[in-house]
Amino acid sequence: MADLKDRIEGLRKAFEAEALKVGDAKSLEELRTAFLGRKKGHVTLLFEDLKTVPAEDKREAGRQVNAFKTFVQDGLLALEGKVRSDGRPARAMDLTLPGRKKYVGAPHPLVLFQQEIENIFLGMGFAIEEGPEIETDYYNFEALNFPPHHPARDSWDTLYIKDDLLLRTHTSPVQIRVMEKKKPPIRIIIPGRVFRRETPDPTHLPMFMQVEGLVVDEGATFAHLKGTLEYFIRALFGEKIKVRFRPSFFPFTEPSAEVDIECIVCDGKDPSCRVCGGTGWKEILGSGMVNPQVLKNVNIDPEKYSGWAFGLGIDRTAMFAYGITEMRHFYENDLRFLRQFGAK
């Protein structure tokens, strides 16, 4: 018995000494074989020797041998923790596992882009106004200086509910509603859904989002319109973007201007550019000085006050900004599309 005990004690010391030298998988395997090897392992041999131990000592001897086996196994396990197969020390925790994220929903890209636009104007002291989507002919057209039966209405192809009731074709009727109830100075933007009787194609849909802006004040000038819209465009597309204003026609503004920005897709170098058609310019805003007739329609004296206004399509501007080629993606609500705009 004492003999066995000494042997075990000797082997324990030998194991501890060898264990200190283990630095890689190979030496660990050698140590394992030396102690647990099926034929000549020290522990295996101890079990062999147990057979010769007298019956009355067998129980205690067995316990000691088993305890030593557990000690070796634990020791080997602990060593396994220190070496990896390629020899690198193992990690206590693998911190490179992916983190646990709460899923946060994705905001709709048009809402996101609209908020971006709103924030720029809020910073310039504009307030946000809204209005109904079902409108009367008066607010949608007549008050905005579209006479009945005027061909100018053709560009605002309309979905009618009744003769006098329609789905607003632009957010401009809200200009009239606000000017009717508030006195200048007025400094507002008007986001919202608008509707046109358009045959769907990649850049036209019967429903889309618009943001309208209106300033009415003493001394409001075309120079202010230019300065503000240039600032807005640079805030949205970067400091370096080129902007140009060119004459256009809208019944409710005079003079009117279309605002183009340089094509950030091809820089005007690709004659078949799907964004600018090779012109190098992309139209993004309609604008102008509020037609004095519109001011008269809401009892604002055009001799005392002047105004300027603008409107832009959120969808098409967002398409340009994000490189989206099909407007209908915004309304298909494919989550694989929408979620690109959220926290991933």
Partner 1 sequence: MKISLDWIREFVTVDIPRQELLDRLTMIGLVADTVEERDGDAVLDLETYANRPDTLGHLGVAREIGAMLGLSLNEKNWPLAELPQATTEIAEVQILSESLCPRYCGLVVRDVPVGPSPDWLERRIEAMGLRPINNVVDVSNYVLFATAQPIHTFDFGKIGGGRIVVRKAKRGETLKDLDGRTLELTTDMLVIADESRPVALAGVIGGEASGITGATRDVFIESANFDPVGIRKTAKKLGLSTDASYRFERGADVGFAPQAALMAASLLTQMGGQASRGLIDVYPKPHQPKFVRLRLRRIAELLGVDVPESFVVEVLGRLGFRVEGTHKGVWRVEAPTFRVDVGLEADLIEEVARFYGYDRIPSEFSPVRSFDLSVNRKRERLGKIRQTLLGQGFDEVINWSFADPEKEAAAGSGLRPVDIQNPISSRASVLRTTLLPGLLENAAWNLNRGLEGVHVFELGDVFYWEGDKHREELHLGLLTTGLLPGAGWTSAPAETDFYVLKGAIEALMEALRFEPVAFEDRDHPHFEPGQALALLYKGLAVGCLGALRKSLAAASAGDRTVFAAEVDLTSLFEKTPRIFQYAPVPKFPGVSRDLSFLLDRGIAYQEVGQALAKLNPSLLEGFELRDRFSGPSIPAAKVSLTVRFRFRHPQRTLVAEEVDRVEQDIVGHLRSTLNIQLREGKIDNRT
Judged by CB under 8 A, the chain residues 37 through 56 that form the site for partner 1 are none
Q: Taking contact as CB under 8 A, which single stretch among the options 26-34, 58-66, 71-79, 189-197 is the one that binds partner 1?
A: 189-197
**3-state class (DSSP) for residue 166:** strand
Using rule CB under 8 A, residue 239 touches partner 1: no
Residues 112-131 that bind partner 1 (CB under 8 A): 124-125, 127-128, 130
Among 20, 40, 148, 344, binds partner 1 (CB under 8 A): 148
Q: Taking contact as CB under 8 A, which single stretch among the options 19-27, 45-53, 261-269, 333-341 is the one that binds partner 1?
A: 333-341
Among 293, 298, 321, 329, binds partner 1 (CB under 8 A): 293
From the CB of residue 184, how many other CB atoms can be counted at a distance below 10 Å?
Answer: 18
The token duo for 251 is 């019944």
Residue 266 one-letter amino acid: C
Taking the least distance from each CB to partner 1, the nearer of 24 and 198 is 198
Residues 210-229 that bind partner 1 (CB under 8 A): 215, 217-228
Using rule CB under 8 A, residue 188 touches partner 1: yes
Among 97, 299, 323, 344, binds partner 1 (CB under 8 A): 97
How many residues of this chain interact with partner 1, rule: CB under 8 A?
A: 87
Residues 241-280 that bind partner 1 (CB under 8 A): 244-249, 251, 254-257
CB 136, CB 165: distance < 8 Å: yes
Using rule CB under 8 A, residue 160 touches partner 1: yes
The secondary structure of residue 280, as a DSSP letter, is S
Taking the least distance from each CB to partner 1, the nearer of 75 and 251 is 251
Q: Taking contact as CB under 8 A, which single stretch among the options 6-14, 35-43, 66-74, 287-295 is the one that binds partner 1?
A: 287-295
What is the secondary structure of 279-324 as a DSSP string? SSEEEEEEEEEEPHHHHHHTT--TTT-EEEEEEEEHHHHHHHHHT-
Residues 76-95 that bind partner 1 (CB under 8 A): none
Q: How, if at all, do strands 127-128 and 186-195 pair?
A: parallel
The C-alpha R_g of the chain, in whole angstroms, comes to 40
Q: Which residues contact 100 (CB under 8 A, 6 or more apart)?
A: none
Q: How far is the CB of 322 from partner 1 (least distance, A)?
A: 15
- Of the CA atoms within 13 Å of residue 7, those in its CB half-sphere come to 14
Cα–Cα dist 257/298, whole Å: 23
For 147-165, give one letter per residue: b (16+ CB within 10 A) or e.
eeeeeebeebebeeeeeee
Residue with token string 């992916």: 98
Q: How far is the CB of 215 from partner 1 (least distance, A)?
A: 6
